[in-house]
Structure 1
Amino acid sequence: MKSIETELKQLNQNLHTMIAAENPILYSAAEQLFNAGGKRIRPTVIFLISKLLNKNQIVSIEQKRLAEITEIIHTASLVHDDIIDNCDTRRGMETVHTAFNNKIAVLAGDFLFAQSSWYLANLNNLDVVKTISKIITDFAEGEVQQGIKSFDYHISIEEYIEKSFYKTASLLACSCKATTILNKSNKNIQNDFYLYGKHLGLAFQIIDDILDITGLSKDLGKPAGSDLINGNLTAPLILTLNEKSKLKKMIYQEFQFKENVNEAIKIIKNTNSIQKAKDIAEEHIQLAIHIIKRKYYYTNSQELLLLTYYLLNRIN
């Protein structure tokens, strides 16, 4: 995204400064994550919305700081996710709990959440604080829901979508809304971009879950099929359960044999469940695009629309 290259470069520099800690182990644990890179989807969305809504197409200092805060919150959630899912690699690098241990990883995640809260408070905007604080509550709710439904083949698509909102879409929805609050936009605009972020986030999660079945480990940055191993039942699997009862037995046995995971992936691929899951993701992408095209189809909305289409094309 050419128009925000400068902002993204500055974001990467600032993140290292913002996570500085006196304790060298804590610092190196946090830095490990940022060195692993990532797609920076959330800051990109914030920067593009900021430019879209600002008459002079600039990103304010507060909006830049918001982008940094959301990336720190996202990264903190990954540290805790990796512990819960017992994931050894992330983006091709050792996860924090693998490089150090679980205790350090938990503390590193807590430290990042605390740092994000500190910088959030310093924005001196109560509405933004309320909006962004909800994300951290939603993360916990999503993790609890996922834990309760672990290896539970009775899970419905509706429950899966709700859990996906808490774990992924809430962050995008709330950060998009907070961007508009910092732009002093009215409630209608705030609500529009909240919904835009929500639909984008849901599509992003569904696509991620499809890639866990269809992708290669080297492209995913984590082992393929790791959702199945961890009992995290996602859209492609849920949509296959009605057709293939053999899967229920494997889930009941918690995929105890490695060949079970490979067989389950093969079963899912031999149905049209991946296409059905993709259709659900596309529905959310179209709802997000509709919001932009209906009300915000200015000359500088092209990059935001391109990013939205790009998320869907990750599985083509």
Structure 2
Amino acid sequence: MLKRLITGRHHAGQFHRHKSSFAAALAAASRLVTPKIMLSNPVSLVSNEMNTLAKNIMALIGSGHPTLNRVTSYYFEAEGKKVRPLLVLLLSRALAEIPLERRDHLKLDSEDVPEDPVYSKPPHMLLLEQPVRSFSPLHVLHGIKPLNPLTKGPEPLPQATFDHERGILPKQRRLAEIVEMIHTASLLHDDVIDYSDTRRGRPSGNVAFTNKMAVLGGDFLLGRATVSISRLRNPEVVELMSNSIANLVEGEFMQLKNTAVDNDLTTIQHGTKEIPPVSGKLDNKIHDYHVPTDQVQNVSHDQLIETAFEYYLHKTYLKTAALISKSSRAAAILSGADKSVVDQCYDFGKNLGVCFQLVDDMLDFTVAAKDLGKPAGADLELGIATAPVLYAWKEDPSLGPLIQRNFSQSGDVERTAAAVAKFDGVKRTKELAVQYRDKALQNLRNALPDSDARSALEFLTNSILTRRK
């Protein structure tokens, strides 16, 4: 099936010469979860699940306040890649190829909260069940006015859209929607933090609505996402997805204050702002990657580079790969897969996510802003040292002071960009991305039987290295 889809793309001729193979891979992979009746329509490049993703999300998060609705729907209106929910849906379909008798589908739901009345149904039905509509009475959730639209509950998913024999389970579809809600909330927040003015080819949320409304809109999305997570009724999935939100924040802090290269823990904002001293009442642990100031002189250049790379990869995992890896693990858990498959799915998401961010960091040096859909060269302007810069620093120790002062002086950005070009920083970053790509492919082959869905995941994984946005 996948071969037919890939072959069919070439009939579009001139159109495809302007599309990256990553965009083509998204289109081909998305068609795998499209109803057969839609496959005859060449314009239909996404599945039924993907086509209704934004609509279902708005049913989950809709507010009675028109401006809040506008802010939260703003990024869903634009044409985004929606890679994260697509991965969850394709992985869910690939997991469905594992025979039911090899899956622990009876235990997963019935033992989550055994005393809860929602578990009064026969256990054999629980794998295919919908997420619950609510746990608390509606008058408690809705506040003073009963059934207040400001706090309305989620709409149930149409049962008819699911293939109960081999298809994507209701909870897995809801998981895909939750993942996109969390990711979109992070975009609203990131654009405020990074002073971005464009996103997906149009004004960013902070420019369109103000910083305050963009932050509050992101907060609202996260609040709705956590409610939806709880209604999946699986403690490990709740823990995983809730923790992925915390990971995003941890990763952002690692980027805002890089303790691997900035040893002054008394200041922030590139050393321009002092923070309150530690009171001693609480235990404020120092990050593992911190090099104490009194030891810096005794640390070799190679050791500094190694610490900086470990810090960078950990930050990359938290900011980008954590959501992908934990949602991949959650999809496997919801399918009833055994522990070895669950672990491989987690590792797949981790390796794919790191690969994805490495390519993103390469594109910041190689792609123009109009093609990227957001400002190019933004990382250096924001004082962020990514893998291409770290590879250049490894060869040119004189870049150390520039990195430590976050490229804040005149000429720092230009000098660093020249060093990245001179020492093949982008090429070496791509070689590292290839290593993570290969590990992700192996994870898929270790975990999943051969199927169209697995082939689509492999195709997507391979194509990440050639994407242009």
- Same fold? TM cut 0.5: yes
The match for 1:209 is 361
The match for 2:153 is none
The match for 1:80 is 189
Would the aligned equivalents of 1:128 and 1:181 in 2 still touch at CA under 8 Å?
yes
TM-score (norm 2): 0.64
The match for 2:32 is 3
The match for 1:184 is 336
1:275 to 399, 402, 427: 427
User: Are 2:314 and 1:162 aligned?
Assistant: yes
2:437 to 285, 300, 313: 285
Would the aligned equivalents of 1:150 and 1:231 in 2 still touch at CA under 8 Å?
no
Would the aligned equivalents of 1:151 and 1:232 in 2 still touch at CA under 8 Å?
no
Q: Which residue identity is paired with 2:218?
A: G
Would the aligned equivalents of 1:177 and 1:194 in 2 still touch at CA under 8 Å?
yes
The match for 2:87 is 45
Larger radius of gyration: 2
Distance (whole Å) between structure 2 residues aligned to residue 64 and residue 168 of structure 1? 21
Shift, 1:67, TM fit:
0.2
Equivalences, count: 316
Distance (whole Å) between structure 2 residues aligned to residue 228 and residue 47 of structure 1? 35
TM-score (norm 1): 0.93
User: Are 2:96 and 1:54 aligned?
Assistant: yes
Distance (whole Å) between structure 2 residues aligned to residue 103 and residue 94 of structure 1? 16
Matched residue SS, 1:242: helix
Shift, 1:252, TM fit:
5.2
Shift, 1:243, TM fit:
2.4
Q: Which residue identity is paired with 1:111?
A: F
Q: Cα RMSD between the aligned structures?
A: 2.1
Would the aligned equivalents of 1:225 and 1:261 in 2 still touch at CA under 8 Å?
no
Distance (whole Å) between structure 1 residues aligned to residue 447 and residue 259 of structure 2? 41
Distance (whole Å) between structure 1 residues aligned to residue 423 and residue 354 of structure 2? 23
Query: Matched residues, percent identical?
Result: 35
User: Are 2:250 and 1:97 aligned?
Assistant: no
Shift, 1:311, TM fit:
0.8
2:231 to 122, 130, 138: 122
1:18 to 55, 60, 64: 60
Shift, 1:248, TM fit:
4.0
Cα distance per residue 1:244-273 (max 9 Å; x no partner): 355445445544578643443233123222
1:112-261 correspondence to structure 2 within 5 Å: 112-149=221-258, 152=261, 156-245=308-397, 247-251=399-403, 254-256=406-408, 260-261=412-413
Distance (whole Å) between structure 2 residues aligned to residue 156 and residue 116 of structure 1? 33
Q: Which runs of 5+ in 1 are unaligned?
A: none
The match for 2:459 is 306
Q: Which residue identity is paired with 1:268?
A: V
Q: Which is worse superposed, 288-297 or 215-224?
A: 288-297
Shift, 1:293, TM fit:
2.2
Q: Which has the higher contact order (CA 8 A, sep 6+)?
A: 2
Go from structure 1 to structure 2 and tell me whether the alpha carbon gap of 1:258 and 1:223 turns closer, same or farther (over 3 Å shift). Answer: farther
Matched residue SS, 1:123: coil
* Greater share of residues in helix: 1
